């Protein structure tokens, strides 16, 4: 790939100072030890013309594989987590990495630089692969730490989300690795490890809100979690959920972020609201609305060192000046500053000539008494588009319909599906199962 140098050479400068490390249910391994092992293996990494595939579900072994790819020279291309891109006839390298198949080459437009791919949450279907340049990741972390005091102060990063899920990769794995902080990897059903590691420390925990609620039951009695910020991976944080989370993790706060998946981080808020508010732009990341309609809703655009440049399996809008958008629709919050999310342009539907924003509908339904979560989908198998509202919790259907009717642009659901608040109601990535 053009003989590009390794993108993790910065880790070789002070390995002796990296006593923090990766923490799993099996124990702790310091960054110093992982870097030492990775350097030895990277020196033996054979050439792979189409790059490498790195399994995302192996905990410490996944991190070791990432370090190998980051220290190999010349820097290789790689895909994190998607086994479909691996060459089934090629041998594994140390049971950590597998050569990629020919179809796993760099996305169009072709680039001479090394690329990497992580995945979206897959909330509206199969997860999409998102491509970026690995040499830009250190600058992305600098953007986060300079704009978010919580990131600069964090002693520990924790996540139960799959490491190929972009939110976990960018918001936990890469900052912990580059900053030399503890990285806690744990199963979604067992929060005892993060509850212990986060107690009394400054930390960031990236997990779906539905699982954070379950995790609150494992918080240590009397422990102080005032230095902990929960990042709701995949969205879906409501006021009720926040109350249940902090009832266990006493004193903890929240960093609700938009855009870490496809466009890099756009906005952040520490205030929990049920109306789709996503906060103000991160310092150093310009964010603006384009093609604003009469209702004040426009498409969000941004640019910066953490933006991805291409997508496989779905659109990623790229402007001539490097600006990117995934079609997020939002309007400005004039009273508090920042933006309120209304949905995606590809989700926007017309019902009887009226624009329906699924994100706005879901936010209204979440505010209904007894609703734990909500999602909106569209049935397109008939002569007209039909709105279906899926509600998690114990609610009255008429109350849901009344909330939809009370929107500025009233919505009449074709069907309301109500399900109990159990773990099976969510996908592995924390999304409402439609």
Q: pLDDT (tens digit, 9 = 90+) per residue, 240-278?
A: 889 999 999 999 999 988 876 678 888 999 999 888 888
Q: What angle do CA 205, 211, 213 make, to 5 degrees?
A: 90
Asked if the domains at 9-254 and 349-425 fall in one CATH topology, the answer is no
Domain boundaries, the chain: 9-254, 349-425
Q: What is the fold, at CATH topology level, of the domain defined by 349-425?
A: GMP Synthetase; Chain A, domain 3 (3.30.300)
Lowest mean pLDDT among 1-15, 91-105, 199-213, 321-335: 1-15
Average pLDDT over residues 148-171: 93
Q: What does the pLDDT read at residue 233?
A: 83
pLDDT tens profile 56-74: 989 999 999 999 999 999 9
Among candidate residues 136, 316, 398, the one with its CA nearest the CA of residue 389: 398
Sign, CA torsion 96/102/104/109? positive
CA dist., res. 29 & res. 14, Å (int): 17
| Average pLDDT, rounded, for the chain | 86
pLDDT classification of 427: cutoffs 50, 70, 90: low
- Are the C-beta atoms of 194 and 186 separated by less than 8 Å? yes
Q: What does the pLDDT read at residue 105?
A: 65
* Residue 228 pLDDT > 60: yes
pLDDT classification of 15: cutoffs 50, 70, 90: very low
Q: What percent of the chain has pLDDT over 90?
A: 47
CA dist., res. 333 & res. 286, Å (int): 17
Cβ burial 368-377 (10 Å sphere, 16+ → b, else e): beebbbbbbb
CA dist., res. 218 & res. 190, Å (int): 8
Q: What does the pLDDT read at residue 223?
A: 94
* Residue 429 pLDDT > 60: no
Q: What does the pLDDT read at residue 401?
A: 94
Average pLDDT over residues 416-434: 72
Structure tokens at 208: 């779906």
What is the gyration radius of the CA atoms in the chain, in angstroms? Answer: 22
Average pLDDT over residues 321-349: 80
* Residue 108 pLDDT > 70: no
pLDDT tens profile 111-124: 778 999 988 766 55
C-alpha distances out from residue 117 to 158, 162, 206, 231, 350, Å: 21, 14, 19, 22, 34
Q: pTM of the predicted model, to two decimals?
A: 0.80
- Are the C-beta atoms of 403 and 365 separated by less than 8 Å? yes
Average pLDDT over residues 340-346: 72
Instruction: Quote the distance between the C-alpha of residue 388 and its chain's center.
Output: 25
Cis peptide before 338 (omega within 30 of 0): no
The CB density around residue 343, as the number of other CB atoms within 10 Å, is: 24
Q: What does the pLDDT read at residue 99?
A: 95
Q: What does the pLDDT read at residue 318?
A: 82
Average pLDDT over residues 133-150: 92
Q: Which residue has the tokens 């093609």?
A: 291
Q: What does the pLDDT read at residue 231?
A: 94
pLDDT classification of 158: cutoffs 50, 70, 90: very high
* Residue 77 pLDDT > 70: yes
Q: What does the pLDDT read at residue 377?
A: 79
Q: Name 387's Cβ contacts closer than 8 Å, sequence gap at least 6.
A: 349, 351, 356, 361, 376, 378, 411, 412, 413, 414
pLDDT classification of 345: cutoffs 50, 70, 90: low
pLDDT tens profile 288-313: 999 888 888 888 999 888 888 888 87
Mark residue 31 as left, alpha or beta (left: phi above 0; alpha: psi -120 to 50; beta: remaining).
alpha
pLDDT classification of 328: cutoffs 50, 70, 90: confident
* Residue 1 pLDDT > 50: no
Cβ burial 313-328 (10 Å sphere, 16+ → b, else e): ebebbbeeeebbbbbb
pLDDT tens profile 367-390: 898 888 888 877 766 656 788 899
3-state secondary structure the chain: CCCCCCCCHHHHCCHHHCCCEEEECCEEEEHHHHHHHHHHHHCCCCCCCCCEEECCCCCHHHHHHHHHHHHCCCCCCEEECCHHHECCCCCCECCCEEEECHHHCCCCCCCCCCCEEEECCCCCCCCCEEEECHHHHHHHHHHHHHHCHHHHHCCEEEECCCCCEHHHHHHHHHHHHHHCCEEEECCCCCCHHHHHHHCCCCEEEEECHHHHHHHHHHCCCCCCCCCEEEEECCCCCCHHHHHHHHHHCCCCEECEEECCCCCCCCEEECCCCCCCEEEEECCCCCEEEECCCCCCCEEEEECCCCCCCEEECCCCEECCCCCEECCEEEEECCCCCCEEEEEECCCCEEECCEEECHHHHHHHHHCCCCEEEEEEEEECCCCCCEEEEEEEECCCHHHHHHHHHCCCCCCCCCEEEEECCCHHHECCCCCECC
Residue count (the chain): 434
* Residue 55 pLDDT > 90: yes
Q: Which CATH number fits domain 9-254: 3.50.50.60, 3.30.1360.20, 3.30.70.260, 3.40.50.12780?
A: 3.40.50.12780
């Amino acid at each position: 790939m053009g003989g590009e140098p390794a993108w993790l050479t910065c880790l070789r400068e002070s390995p002796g100072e990296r006593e923090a490390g990766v923490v799993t249910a099996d124990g702790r391994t310091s960054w110093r030890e992982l870097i030492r092992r990775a350097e030895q293996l990277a020196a033996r990494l054979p050439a792979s013309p189409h790059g490498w595939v790195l399994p995302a579900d192996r905990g410490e072994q996944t991190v070791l594989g990432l370090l190998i790819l980051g220290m190999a020279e010349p820097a290789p291309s790689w895909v994190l987590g998607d086994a479909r891109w691996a060459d089934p006839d090629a041998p594994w390298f140390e049971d950590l990495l597998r050569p990629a198949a020919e179809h796993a080459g760099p996305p169009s437009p072709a680039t001479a630089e090394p690329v990497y791919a992580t995945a979206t949450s897959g909330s509206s279907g199969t997860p999409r692969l998102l491509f970026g340049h690995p040499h830009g990741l250190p600058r992305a972390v600098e953007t986060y730490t300079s704009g978010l005091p919580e990131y600069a102060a964090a002693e520990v990063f924790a996540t139960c989300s799959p490491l190929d899920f972009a939110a976990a990769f960018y918001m936990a794995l890469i900052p912990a690795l580059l900053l030399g902080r503890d990285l806690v990897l744990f199963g979604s059903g067992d929060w005892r490890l993060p509850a212990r590691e986060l107690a009394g420390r400054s930390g960031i925990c990236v997990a779906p809100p539905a699982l954070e609620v379950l995790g609150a039951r494992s918080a240590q009695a009397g422990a102080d979690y005032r230095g902990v910020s929960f990042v709701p991976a995949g969205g879906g944080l409501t006021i009720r959920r926040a109350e249940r989370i902090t009832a266990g993790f006493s004193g903890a706060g929240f960093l609700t972020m938009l855009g870490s998946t496809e466009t890099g981080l756009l906005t952040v808020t520490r205030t929990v609201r049920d109306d789709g508010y996503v906060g103000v732009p991160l310092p150093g990341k310009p964010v603006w609305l384009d093609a604003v309609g009469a209702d004040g809703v426009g498409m969000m655009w941004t640019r910066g060192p953490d933006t991805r440049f291409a997508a496989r399996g779905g659109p990623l809008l790229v402007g001539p000046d490097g600006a990117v958008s995934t079609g997020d629709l939002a309007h400005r919050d004039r009273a508090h500053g920042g933006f309120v999310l209304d949905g995606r342009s590809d989700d926007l539907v017309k019902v009887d000539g009226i624009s329906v924003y699924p994100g706005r509908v879901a936010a209204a339904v979440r505010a209904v008494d007894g609703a734990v979560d909500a999602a909106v989908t569209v049935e397109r198998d008939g002569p007209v588009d039909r709105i279906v509202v899926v509600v998690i919790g114990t609610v009255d259907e008429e109350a849901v319909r009344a909330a939809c009717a009370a929107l500025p642009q009233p919505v009449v659901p074709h069907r309301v599906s109500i399900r109990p608040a159990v773990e099976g109601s969510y996908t592995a990535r924390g999304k409402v199962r439609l």
